[in-house]
Amino acid sequence: MSLDPRINRLDLKRVNDGEQTASHLVTWEVFHQEKRGKQPVHAGIVHASTPEQALMFAKEQFARRGKTANLWVVKTADVYTFNSEDEAIFETTPEKTFRDPAFYKVRERIEAFQAKNKL
Amino acid sequence: MYGNTSLTAEEAKVMNAAVEDPEKLAVFEARITRGEKIEPGDWMPEQYRKQLIRMIEQHAHSEIVGALPEGTWITRAPNFRRKLALIAKVQDEIGHGQLLYSAAETLGKTREQMLMDLLSGKSKYSNVFNYPAKTWADIAVIGFLVDGAAIVNQVINSKGSYGPYCRALERICYEESFHLKQGHDNFVYLATGTKVQREMLQEALNRWYRPLLHFFGPSDRDSQHSEKLMKWKVKLASNDDMRNQFLDQYVPKIYELGLTLPDPELRRGDDGIWVFGDPDWDEFKRVINGDGPCNAERLEVRRYAELAHRWVREALINPKERYVTPMA
């Protein structure tokens, strides 16, 4: 006698056993927004065939505890990215210090000017 | 352990003989040495991909099958608070399975294929779930000690090299800590309860002691493991090291309640290494190869779920959709 009550319901006809459906549920990328006004952050994926289903599964999977203001789902196939092997295209970004506020330092120049002109 | 990395002699041979593009391999290994994570689109050795799929898939199956012995106790939980906690835990375990299937899926094997391989017996799951939960005290022991052992394993694995697996594990470990705390709470209540409750707990503990020693896999002396898997940070600690860490953390928590373990040889050596009696590795092998008390039952329940709910999944599939491997 099994301890699992489900075992006692195993009276299904096993005609199609081993067969499987060839197609898959597509995946959706889930973005979780913790609070109103905060950035939605990528949380993971769910499998579903419609956006409504995806939201339902996302709620179960990524909003079980803690705070949630909203969830976004986007079909994985609709997300475009660079090829990860092309990472080199971002290489010069750290060299662009002229884009940083900290790059612009004028205090020394002002002080030198003041000393020279006795201001 | 959940995601097993022990190899047979034959598998280890194939693994060590695999030839890879030396230039790409050098770049790949240098990245891992620097502590960088490998992401799905990156180049990786075939053996790395293969072993990760195997390990993450086994881990996922363990979460799903692991919910079965506990699931049967939801209707028989002793009170409402325990029932709420158990439902939440079982839901988490299934959620962990889904997170892990997703992580494995980024390596190119679909979730459906993994589920089918579980049913056909091609893929394994943790041996510990081939034992029955006979009483409510078994649920306390599972929640406290099986989850405790799983956390030891998972915290170590979360320091690995594959990004999607590490991210899934971080989330899982956070939720597992709730499982452990509620398991400990349950365990302590029975241990400090009536004489009947204490006896029931002691009996459950006696039943689970051996499966818990088996949890981390065979002794390092008897297990094939590949230097490559260590170097690639797929495996991060040896079976014996993890087992020792578990005993170190949990045996004192059993003894402090005046409970015992059914092993007269069990003691902590002066060097910090735990010594224990022969845990019967032949039994471990028998159970892993399908001859445990619950192997057939667990798979039957999964087959039942697959057959009874197939129409739901078929109804959900939209034939116009195109499947794409997820990216993160």
Give domain status of residue A110, yes or no. yes
What is chain A's alpha carbon radius of gyration, rounded to the nearest angstrom?
28
Chain B contact for A9 (CB, 8 A cutoff)? yes
Q: Is residue A77 part of a domain?
A: yes
Q: Is B24 on the interface with A (CB under 8 A)?
A: no
Give residue-wise pLDDT tens across range A33-75: 999 999 999 999 999 989 999 999 999 999 999 999 999 999 9
Total domains in the fold of chain A: 1
Domain map (residue ranges) of chain B: 9-316
CA B293, B296, B299 angle in degrees (round to 5)?
Answer: 130
Is ipTM > 0.90 here?
no
Domain B9-316, CATH among 3.40.1440.10, 1.20.1260.10, 3.30.1490.20, 3.40.50.300:
1.20.1260.10
The answer to whether A7 contacts B300, with C-beta atoms less than 8 Å apart, is yes
Residue span of the structural domain in which A105 resides: 23-117
Question: CATH no. for residue A99?
Answer: 3.10.20.520
Indicate whether B281 pLDDT > 50.
yes
Helices H / strands E in chain B, number of each: 14, 2
Residue A7 located in a structural domain: no
Q: Which residues contact B219 (CB under 8 A, 6 or more apart)?
A: B239, B240, B281
A17 occurs within a structural domain: no
Residue A13 lies in a domain: no
User: From A74, which residue of chain B is nearest by alpha-carbon distance?
Assistant: B326
Evaluate whether B63 touches B125 at the Cβ level (below 8 Å). no
Residue A113 lies in a domain: yes
pLDDT of residue B255: 97
Alpha helices (runs of H) in B215-238, residue ranges in sequence order: 227-231
CA of B221 to nearest chain A CA: how many angstroms apart? 37
Q: If contacts are CB pairs under 8 Å, which of residues 150-189 in chain B contact chain A?
A: 167-168, 171, 175
List the single range of A9-13, B133-137, B157-161, B229-233 with lowest mean pLDDT.
Answer: A9-13
- Say whether pLDDT at A21 is over 70: no
